[in-house]
Chains A and B, each alone.
Chain A
Amino acid sequence: MLYIKCPHCGMRSQNEFSYGGDATVKRPELGKEVSDQEWDDFVYNRKSLRGKHWELWQHLFGCRQWIKVERDTATHEIFKTLKANQEISK
């Protein structure tokens, strides 16, 4: 069982959350010419590596907010959580 610290509600169990995938993919900018490759990278292509991974979760059975979580994909250790509009610091 994962325990995720929602930045709005505090520590809650995994059962309250739903997963949203890689948080680092960026939608191509609106109003700009977008190549097929850029769309591919946004829609389909992922790194999905072993180790630290920034990902989106939604606190579905809580505050219903989307949040960003940094988790290790092998150990499931959670290092940091952010509100959806907070930038991931490198």
Chain B
Amino acid sequence: MQKYSVFNLIKNALSNHENWDLAWKDPTPKKEYDVVIIGGGGHGLATAYYLAKEHNITNVAIIEKGWIGGGNVGRNTTIIRSNYMHDDNALFSEFGMDLWRKMSQDLNYNVMFSPRGIINLAHSDAQMNVYARRGNSMRLNGIDAVLLNREQVKEIIPMADFSENVRFPIFGGLMQPSAGTARHDAVAWGYARQADSMGVDIIQNCEVVGFDVSGGKIKGVRTSRGDIKAKKIGLCVAGSTNILAEKLNMRLPIETHLLQACVSEPVKPVLDRVVTFGAGHFYISQSDKGEMVMGGDLDGYNSYAQRGNLPTLQHVLTEGIAMMPFLSKLKMLRTWGGIMDMSMDGSPIIDKTHIEGLYLNCGWCYGGFKATPASGWTFAHTIAQDRVHELNAGYNLNRFNTGHLLDEKGLGTKTWIS
């Protein structure tokens, strides 16, 4: 594989950039693999990469019904954070933060990781108390957290509405300085390129039509490009989880919902942090191109539409304007939607299943992008060793049966509870 470096950039500039190698190949599927990963999104590509890198398993195929990186890894608001209170979420996400910091070097691909910090705004004394508690929990788990008062927040984001007579005055906020954003497409492409270079077959335009299960064991997968045998199969299909579970006669604690995001026209640099509104569900950052990147609530009903409805967008942007009034002057450039695998407790599932050799990675709700490296790393471990790692032990499927829910925010598919 050609290494990306400034010398190679200059060398290729001399030949008009016509001689770069392809970043990954376009193989025809083999008859059999050790591991087949279904879903060529961020999590699937990362899983294949860590299978090869950490576990030396390279007879791996990723099968993707569309093109890699065309799902939620290409549709998110690129926020990376580990500001969780519960140990299972905090330790998992902080492990991921470490992988994010090293990712560009590790993948030899600039993922533009920008640790600009995230501020969760608080709008009441009670909320300040809750944030103080969350911040303390984070610090006990080795995650950086700073509780800011109103004046400190004002210094950092003066463009927010600090007037006194508003419905949700800003009392302060909780900041995780090491949180940030990254270039989402680069994450998919970086993982794909490295996985490919280590021998993983990335098979695009290959849709799963069924599974071959016998005697409680997974034997292979039937696809639009023929049957593929596999000793182990990992599902990383986010919003299509329910559809594949149906083919396996499994019912999961997952509902498929639509989440929208939008960007404004590009403007000059105004916001150098990620900020979330504390009295509703709205988050905003400014991209390197100058667009304000915004998102918020689910549309609120089961959906595979991949296209949002206006009432939700209007609701989300109303919150945005309440928080930062200047947003009302901006024109909207694009809005889009992706379909989320919403779990019933708002936390993900990375686990084995009752079918031997079949592994499940789903339930990412609003937070799939930031989890990409940690999810891939732990899912690769779970598949390779046939047992969960302690980092994803809390993300078991059984918790819905035993009652050990991981209800960080106390909401999953039920957005109206918030």
Residues of A within 8 A of B (CB): 1-2, 14-15, 18-19, 21-22, 36-37, 40-41, 43-50, 53, 55, 71, 73-76
Contact = CB atoms under 8 A, between A and B. Distances in A.
B256 interface: yes
Interface stretch (B29-37, B74-82, B214-222, B304-312): B304-312
B303 interface: yes
Given A15-B311, A21-B255, A48 B242 contact: yes
B401 A40 contact: yes
Interface string B317-334: 000000000000000000
Interface residues of A, dominant DSSP: mixed
Nearest to B258: A73
10 contacts: A2-B309, A21-B302, A22-B255, A43-B344, A46-B253, A48-B255, A73-B256, A73-B302, A74-B304, A76-B305
Contacts of B302: 21-22, 48, 53, 55, 73
Contacts of A53: 302
Contact of B255 (A2, A18, A46, A71): A46
A49 B305 contact: no
A55 B301 contact: yes
Given A14-B309, A14-B311, A46-B254, 9 more contacts: A21-B413, A40-B400, A44-B400, A45-B252, A47-B246, A49-B246, A50-B243, A73-B304, A74-B303
B243 A49 contact: yes
Contacts of B280: none
A36 B303 contact: no
Among B254, B301, B416, max chain A CB count under 10 A is at B301
A49 B311 contact: no
